[in-house]
A and B are shown apart, each in its own frame.
Chain A
Amino acid sequence: QLQLQESGPGLVKPSETLSLTCTVSGGSISSSSWYGGWIRQPPGKGLEWVGTIYYIGNTYYNPSLKSRVTISEDTSKNQFSLRLSSVTAADTAVYYCARTGPGILTGFGYWGQGSLVTVSS
């Protein structure tokens, strides 16, 4: 059974860079058919798609965050990562990593439990 686990600091200072890693177990990320995603949810608010990585590092980002977001993968560790630069309090959220089944049309069926990141000095 595929499992995802987010890891990274729970507290980031304003103007600094938020970094999170998603470790995938139970299946390889080195597949041409999988899509990995980062989704965030500010306290009490809805889900916001941050970005997606697909096969050999192809990436797609939310236009509202595109200038600050980088998603990358490390196939040797079966991980993909999120970096969000120049953070403000508005970036405080639970950050989820997620993965599709074979192909984007299958939807994000596998999720981590979420990692709360607070932006505060």
Chain B
Amino acid sequence: DIQLTQSPSFLSASVGDRVTITCRASQGINYYLAWYQQKPGKAPKLLISAASTLQSGVPSRFSGSGSGTEFSLTISSLQPEDFATYYCQQLNSYSYIFGQGTKLEIK
């Protein structure tokens, strides 16, 4: 079974910082990866699909890259509303598991 490992698990940053979250797959998944943002008490929100396709309405400061086994989500300039937990999800091989999450906190 494919496993996803996100790093870091916790990230402390300031408004205006550029941050990158990494998601590594235990075997190649091509570009079958999505990124979600979740705020407390809310359902996850899809940010990026197919590794790099920004969803409609998602600010352009979010970007995704990668293919195969290594992927990243970058926020170019953190805004106060970006402090949340982020998850990657693989969409390959009929096993749509999530990474363990990265909690982004205000420094």
Chain B residues with CB under 8 A of A37: 96
| Consensus secondary structure, chain B interface | loop
Interface magnitude class on chain B? 20 to 34
**A110 — nearest CB in chain B belongs to which residue?**
B46
Does B96 lie within 8 Å of A52, measured CB to CB?
A: yes
Within 8 A of A (CB), among B37-93: 38, 43-46, 48-50, 55, 85, 87, 89, 91
Q: How far is the CA of A104 from the CA of B92 in the complex (A)?
A: 8
**B41 — nearest CB in chain A belongs to which residue?**
A114
Chain B residues with CB under 8 A of A15: none
Known: A105-B31, A107-B48. 4 other contacts (CB 8 A): A106-B49, A107-B55, A107-B89, A108-B44
State whether the Cβ of A25 lies closer than 8 Å to any Cβ in chain B.
Answer: no
For the complex formed, measure the closest distance between the CB of A18 and the CB atoms of chain B, giving whole angstroms: 19
